C-alpha cells in the first residue's frame, strides 16, 4: 500500500497501478490446458506453429523460439560467431541483457551513446566506436520505438559488420512501413509478462537467413542436430552434438499461450498508442517534464512510456518525484541505469562515468509511467492527475 500522499491526504489510488502487466484470458487458459492433455509438453507441434505465426507477424522467413529474450540475444551472438577478441557495439541506455549476451560468448561489449531526444542508439556515436575488431552492432528499440535502421543498415553494410536488433520492447512496431523483426540481420524479442505478448518466460529470434536459423535451432538444443520429436518421427535414436549449445528450448505449453496471445497483438498495440496519446496531450503543456521524442516514419510499440523531468524547473531530484508518485499509487519505474555504470561492467571492462554522457544525464531524469493494454481510462486519468499533482507540488 502507498504511504501518505504528498499533501498528507488521501493518495490518488489506494492500490498500486503497476507499470506493466500481462493480459491472460480464458481462451489463453483453454489453449494451454489443451496442450497439458496432449502428447507433447515440449518441442512438439506447437513450437513450429508458434514460430510460423511469429515469423508472419515479424515479416521474416524464419523465427526461432527460445526460452527468454536473454537466450534470444545469446543465440544471436552465437549465430554470428562472436568469440573472444570480437567487439560488439551496444547503446548505453538499455537492459543489462543487451550487453551480457556478448560477454557470454567471450566478446567485448563497447558502449555507444544515445540520441538525447529519443534515447535510441545514435548512429554517429556507433560509428565512432567501430574498430578492426568490431563484428556487430546491437540496436535497441528502447521503449518500443524502432531505431534509425536506414542509417544503421547503411553503416553496417559500409563497414562490413552485422546489424542485430534488440527488439525486446518493440514487437508490433514498424519503421518505414516495415515490421520490427525484419529490419536487421537478426532481431530478438522477449515474451516476458510485461512485454506485448507473453509466454510466461520466452524469446524469439527472427531472420531471413536460413543458415543462421538452422545454426540457432541447433544451439538452443544443446548443439544437437535433431530434436526428440524429429528422431521419433524418423523412428531412430542416433544424434550428434556438433557444437556446444544450451537447453534454450521453449515448451509447447508456452507456445500454446503465445499462439493464443499473438492474434490480439494489433488490438493491444492500438490501446498502448491510445494511452500514449492521452499522456502526450496531458503533458504537452505541463511544465517540469518532457516525453521522449518520436521520430517520423516510425510506428511506436510503446512497451514503455518514458518521461524526462526538467530538473531545472523542479526543487527536487528524480528519486523524490519517484517516491511521491509511488505514494500516490502510481507504480512508476526507472528504465535504465546505463549498462556501463553497473559494477560488473566497471570492474570487468573498466567502464565508468563520462563514457556515455547523454545516457548518464538522461538516467538522472527519466521515469517510466504505467502503460499496458488492460489499463482503463480511469487508470490513465489517475496517472495524469498524480503527475500533475506531484509536479505542481515540487515545481520552482
Ligand atoms: C531491451 C531488453 N533486452 C533484453 C531483455 C531480456 O528479456 P528476457 O527478460 O525475456 O530475458 C529485456 C528484458 O526486459 C529488455 O528489456
Q: Which of the residues 195, 264, 315, 347 is marked catalytic? A: 195
Query: Phi, psi at residue 135, to the nearest 5°?
Result: -110, -30
Q: What is the pLDDT of residues 291-320, one digit of tens each?
A: 999 999 999 999 999 999 999 999 999 999
Closest CA to 305 of 237, 371, 223, 261: 371
Q: What is the pLDDT of residue 356?
A: 98
- The minimum-distance atom of ligand 1 relative to the CA of 141 is 1
Q: Is 195 a catalytic residue?
A: yes
CA 171 – CA 368 distance, rounded (Å): 18
- Largest pairwise CA distance in the chain: 75
What is the β-pairing status of strands 162-166 and 134-140? parallel
Q: How far apart are the first and last CA of the chain?
A: 29
Q: What is the pLDDT of residue 233?
A: 82
Q: What is the pLDDT of residues 73-99, one digit of tens each?
A: 999 999 999 999 999 999 999 999 999
Which residues form the pocket of ligand 1, taking CB atoms under 6 Å from any ligand atom? 68-70, 73, 94-95, 97-98, 140, 166, 168-169, 190, 192, 203
In what helix (H) or strand (E) does residue 279 lie, and over which residues does it extend? helix 265-283
Specify the pTM: 0.97
C-alpha of residue 281 to centroid of ligand 1, in Å: 29
Q: What is the pLDDT of residue 4?
A: 65
C-alpha of residue 166 to centroid of ligand 1, in Å: 8
C-alpha of residue 188 to centroid of ligand 1, in Å: 9
Q: What is the pLDDT of residue 230?
A: 82
- The minimum-distance atom of ligand 1 relative to the CA of 201 is 10
Q: What is the pLDDT of residue 232?
A: 79
CA 250 – CA 242 distance, rounded (Å): 21
CA–centroid distance for 275 within its chain? 19
CA 219 – CA 160 distance, rounded (Å): 25
CA 193 – CA 23 distance, rounded (Å): 8
Q: What is the pLDDT of residue 3?
A: 56
DSSP string, 100-125: HHHHHTT-EEEEE-B-TTT-SB-HHH
Joined together, the cell numbers standing for residue 211 give 543458415
**CA distances in angstroms from 122 to 64, 131, 137, 299, 321, listed in the order given:** 29, 17, 12, 19, 28
- The minimum-distance atom of ligand 1 relative to the CA of 98 is 3
| Sites in the chain below the pLDDT cut of 70 | 1-4
Amino acid at each position: 500500500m502507498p504511504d501518505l500522499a504528498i499533501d498528507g491526504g488521501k493518495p490518488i489510488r489506494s492500490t498500486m497501478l503497476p507499470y506493466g502487466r500481462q493480459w491472460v484470458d480464458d481462451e489463453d487458459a483453454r489453449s494451454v490446458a489443451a496442450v497439458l492433455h496432449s502428447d507433447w509438453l515440449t518441442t512438439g507441434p506447437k513450437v513450429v506453429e508458434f514460430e510460423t505465426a511469429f515469423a508472419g507477424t515479424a515479416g521474416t522467413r524464419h523465427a526461432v523460439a527460445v526460452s527468454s529474450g536473454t537466450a534470444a540475444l545469446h543465440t544471436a551472438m552465437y549465430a554470428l560467431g562472436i568469440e573472444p577478441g570480437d567487439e560488439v557495439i551496444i547503446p548505453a541506455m538499455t537492459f543489462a541483457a543487451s550487453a551480457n549476451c556478448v560477454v557470454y560468448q567471450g566478446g567485448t561489449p563497447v558502449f555507444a551513446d544515445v540520441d538525447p531526444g529519443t534515447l535510441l542508439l545514435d548512429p554517429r556515436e556507433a560509428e565512432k566506436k567501430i574498430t578492426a575488431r568490431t563484428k556487430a552492432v546491437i540496436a535497441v528499440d528502447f521503449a518500443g520505438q524502432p531505431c534509425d535502421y536506414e542509417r544503421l543498415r547503411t553503416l553496417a553494410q559500409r563497414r562490413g559488420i552485422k546489424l542485430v536488433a534488440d527488439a525486446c520492447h518493440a514487437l508490433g512496431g514498424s519503421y518505414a512501413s516495415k515490421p520490427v523483426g525484419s529490419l536487421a540481420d537478426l532481431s530478438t524479442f522477449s515474451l516476458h509478462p510485461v512485454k506485448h505478448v507473453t509466454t510466461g518466460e520466452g524469446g524469439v529470434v527472427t531472420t531471413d537467413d536460413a543458415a543462421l536459423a538452422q545454426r540457432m535451432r541447433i544451439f538452443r538444443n544443446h548443439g544437437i542436430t535433431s530434436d526428440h520429436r524429429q528422431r521419433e518421427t524418423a523412428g531412430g535414436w542416433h544424434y550428434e552434438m556438433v557444437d556446444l549449445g544450451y537447453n534454450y528450448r521453449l515448451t509447447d505449453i508456452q507456445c500454446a499461450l503465445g499462439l493464443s496471445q499473438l492474434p490480439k497483438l494489433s488490438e493491444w498495440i492500438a490501446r498502448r498508442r491510445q494511452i500514449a496519446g492521452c499522456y502526450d496531450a496531458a503533458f504537452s503543456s505541463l511544465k517540469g517534464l518532457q516525453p521522449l521524442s518520436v521520430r517520423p516514419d516510425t510506428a511506436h510499440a510503446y512497451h514503455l512510456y518514458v518521461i524526462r523531468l526538467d530538473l531545472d524547473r523542479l526543487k527536487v531530484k528524480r528519486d523524490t518525484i519517484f517516491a511521491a508518485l509511488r505514494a500516490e499509487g502510481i507504480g512508476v519505474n526507472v528504465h535504465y541505469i546505463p549498462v556501463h555504470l553497473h559494477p560488473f561492467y566497471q570492474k570487468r571492462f573498466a567502464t565508468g562515468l563520462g563514457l556515455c554522457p547523454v545516457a548518464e544525464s538522461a538516467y538522472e531524469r527519466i521515469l517510466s509511467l504505467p502503460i499496458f493494454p488492460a489499463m482503463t481510462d480511469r487508470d490513465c486519468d489517475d496517472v495524469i492527475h498524480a503527475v500533475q499533482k506531484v509536479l505542481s507540488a515540487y515545481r520552482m
